């Protein structure tokens, strides 16, 4: 398989244990997408009884659709890393800061 190596901010912690990609507070998706245009939710979240098998991979932020975040530059996250967790009942990027 061909592969692509790119630099992107890491998901340094995820407190959403119900997510299929979460193992031990770490996200193991290849990359996540944040936002729906105005809300900084984790668009990659989904829940199954089974969690992902890949435990060595650490997720990065592939895209951010929340243009009014100070870390967003051309729909890419420029934060050093991010945390994902609950804000009320919503699963959000907790690093989000409105510009």
Q: What's the confidence (pLDDT) of residue 39?
A: 94
Q: What's the confidence (pLDDT) of residue 55?
A: 87
List the structure tokens of 19. Answer: 């997510």
Q: What's the confidence (pLDDT) of residue 48?
A: 92
CA proximity to 42, closest of 32, 52, 50: 32
Q: What's the confidence (pLDDT) of residue 4?
A: 83
Tokens 């907790």 -> residue = 94
In tens digits, what is the pLDDT along the chain, a chain of 99 residues?
A: 898 888 999 999 999 999 999 999 999 999 999 998 889 999 999 999 888 888 899 999 999 999 999 999 999 999 999 999 999 999 999 999 999
């Amino acid at each position: 398989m061909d592969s692509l190596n790119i630099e992107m901010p890491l998901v340094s912690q995820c407190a959403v244990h119900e997510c299929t990609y979460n193992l031990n507070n770490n996200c193991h998706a290849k990359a996540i997408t944040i936002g729906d245009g105005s809300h900084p939710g984790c668009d990659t979240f989904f829940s199954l009884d089974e969690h992902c098998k890949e435990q060595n991979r650490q997720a990065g932020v592939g895209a951010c659709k929340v243009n009014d975040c100070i870390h967003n530059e051309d729909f890419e996250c420029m934060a050093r890393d991010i945390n994902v967790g609950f804000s009320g009942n919503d699963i959000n990027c907790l690093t989000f800061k409105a510009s």
